[in-house]
Amino acid sequence: MKVYLDNGATTRCDEKVIERMKKIYLKNYGNPSSLHSLGRDAKKEVDRARKEFANYLKISEEEIIFVASGSEADNLAIKGLSLAYPEKKHIITSKIEHPAILRTCEDLERNGYEITYLDVNKEGLIDIKKLKELLRTDTLVVSIMHANNEIGTINDIESISKICREKNVFFHTDAVQSLGKVKLNLGNIDLASFSAHKIHGPKGVGALYIKKGIRLKSIIKGGGQERGLRAGTENVPGIVGFAEALTSLSEKEIERITELRDYFIERVMKEIKEVHLNGPLKERLCNNASISFHYVEGEGLLYHLDAKGIAVSTGSACSSKSLQVSHVLRAIGLKHEIAHGTIRFTFSKYNTKKEIDYVIDSLKEIVTNLRKMSPLYPEEK
């Protein structure tokens, strides 16, 4: 049996998405900047997709910029603001942000910016009161992710953005994991990053929401596409596919995924000893279960699951290029030896209960075997 439980990494493309993209690739393949009819037709496709996007997010069309990835959207948000408002040299973010935010902030730090990295509690939530105290007149932007990619924590960004608005500080959120899954009211949010391939859309396309009135400077220069904010020929099939993907998850499907997740968590916690769930039980992404299996190491567990056709990811240092334990697991205070045994299971609408049962049976067998092999596992247990 093949079971894909790494939907936090990327998802299978929806067939409706592919159908719409195929039409662009084969028939509407013009460059939206071209003057001839093929070009004009391609531009209409981009305009239509932008309108669908705007309707979905209840924003206006000129508030959305298409880019090549969620990471690019994050980079453009932070760097674009820093270039447009150079007098403000302080940024607040959290310790569990995506590397696209953290590395961008570090880059600015090397250029004289002061960055405050907020701690999170053991569930991955920031302290909103503390944030309020840290806001300054020279604070450029606060960037807090909507839902965490590793442990699934959903931050209360409506409250956070309201505080920022009161203090006249821009608020950006990386909403890559939450788009299409968690209701998002952009009310006080100034900028938000999105990505298509996490919601059954194509890879290589992202979007940045920029509230009307906010100046931003581009980081990619060229032909003036996307209102001069992002040069480069528009990825027309990708943009169209992204718009189609926005509605790929119905309320009913989200409910079903949530049920699968809860069924999985409940059975794992009950049937495998000495495990724990990372992140909150309730305020978490509908498709995320981050579980630490004590006394075993995640990479080994991942490869054994892989041999059984099950795809997951791990926060173990041993699997990372830097040999560092995941910064998110460290920030929520997990001991290193426990962080090493952490596996992220992320579900999608394509998963079935039968698959989940198979994964649980496999997990029970593998964890037992690895623990037998582990010198850390107390013998009396």
Partner 1 sequence: MDYNEKVIKRFSKPKNVGEIKNADGIGKVGNPRCGDVMELFIKVKNNKIVDAKFRTFGCVAAIATSDALCDMVKGKTIEEAKKITNQDIVNDLGTLPPIKVHCSVLGREALDAAIKDYENKKN
Shorter beta-carbon distance to partner 1: residue 14 or 297: 297
Shortest separation between residue 376's beta carbon and partner 1, angstroms: 5
Closest by CA to 114, choosing from 88, 94, 132, 96, is 88
Shortest separation between residue 298's beta carbon and partner 1, angstroms: 8
Contacts of 75 (CB under 8 A, 6+ apart): 100, 104, 219
Shortest separation between residue 317's beta carbon and partner 1, angstroms: 5
Shortest separation between residue 171's beta carbon and partner 1, angstroms: 37
Closest by CA to 284, choosing from 2, 93, 8, is 8
**Cα–Cα dist 44/24, whole Å:** 11
Neighbours of 115 (CB within 10 A): 16
Catalytic residue among 13, 105, 286, 318: 318
Helix (H) or strand (E) holding 274: none
**Are the CB atoms for 210 and 228 separated by under 8 Å?**
no
Q: Nearest 5°: phi and psi at 152?
A: 80, 5
**Cα–Cα dist 293/307, whole Å:** 19
User: Can you give 202-233 as a three-state secondary structure string?
Assistant: CCCCEEEEECCCCCCCCCCCCCCCHHHCCCCC
Shorter beta-carbon distance to partner 1: residue 56 or 377: 377
Shorter beta-carbon distance to partner 1: residue 105 or 363: 363
**Cα–Cα dist 123/279, whole Å:** 4
**Cα–Cα dist 157/239, whole Å:** 26
Residues facing 99 on adjacent strands: none
Shortest separation between residue 6's beta carbon and partner 1, angstroms: 15
Instruction: Output the six-digit token pair for 252.
Output: 């009913």
Shortest separation between residue 373's beta carbon and partner 1, angstroms: 5
Helix (H, G, I), strand (E, B) or coil at 379: coil
Long-range CB contacts (< 8 A, 24+ apart) of 158-166? 158/185, 158/187, 158/188, 159/128, 160/126, 160/128, 160/131, 161/187, 161/188, 161/189, 161/190, 162/188, 163/128, 163/131, 163/132, 163/135, 164/135, 164/188, 164/190
Shorter beta-carbon distance to partner 1: residue 79 or 304: 304
Shorter beta-carbon distance to partner 1: residue 2 or 129: 2
Shorter beta-carbon distance to partner 1: residue 252 or 372: 372
105 carries an active-site annotation: no
Shorter beta-carbon distance to partner 1: residue 110 or 381: 381
Shortest separation between residue 365's beta carbon and partner 1, angstroms: 13
**269, burial (CB in 10 Å: exposed 0-12, middle 13-18, buried 19+):** middle
Interaction site with partner 1 (CB under 8 A)? 295-297, 299-300, 303-304, 307, 316-319, 321, 323, 325, 335-337, 340, 372-377
What amino acid positions are annotated as catalytic residues?
Answer: 318
